[in-house]
Amino acid sequence: MDALDLTQRPPRSPRELLPGLDLLMAARTVDKIRATLPGGNLGQYQITGFSSSLLNRLGIVEGLLREAIAKAASDREVADWIVQHSEPERYAEVNASLERPTIGERLDDPEFLKRYPAASRLAPESSRLDLLIADDREAFP
């Protein structure tokens, strides 16, 4: 797959799914890793946070996924690789753990609010996945 420049557009939504893979954050994580390939630009994004949490919960080493992404011709190939290197029966549990954290849990953290100004404009019970979507919209109107 080609490298991405995430200074030109955001990664995919945390709710967008890779073909044949019912796993939140996977498409977004693939985009962020593609931005770390030669010629890519991660911009303001980072792998730590939800993406690293996803990989840890799946038992996938970031460097191995990066190699698979670099060699893959399509999202479907990457999705197949993820399925082969993880436990698909755990995806519902992983999705729930990614969906669970709310904005309200971090509203007293000044660094969080500095990084995600949109947090103050969303309901405290909103998922932090929804915050990522709102943050992308503000960064790339």
Q: What is the pLDDT of residues 16-72, one digit of tens each?
A: 999 999 999 999 999 999 999 999 999 999 999 999 999 999 999 999 999 999 999
What DSSP string describes the chain? ----BTTTSPPPPTTPPBTTB--TTHHHHHHHHHTTSTT-B-TT--STTHHHHHHHHHT--HHHHHHHHHH-SSHHHHHHHHHHTS-GGGHHHHHHHHH--BGGGGTT-HHHHHH-GGGGGS-TTSBHHHHHHHHHHHH--
- Rounded to whole angstroms, the Cα distance separating 128 from 15 reads 11
pLDDT tier at 117, thresholds 50, 70, 90? very high
pTM: 0.95
Instruction: Look over the chain and give the mean of its residue pLDDT values, rounded to a whole number.
Output: 97
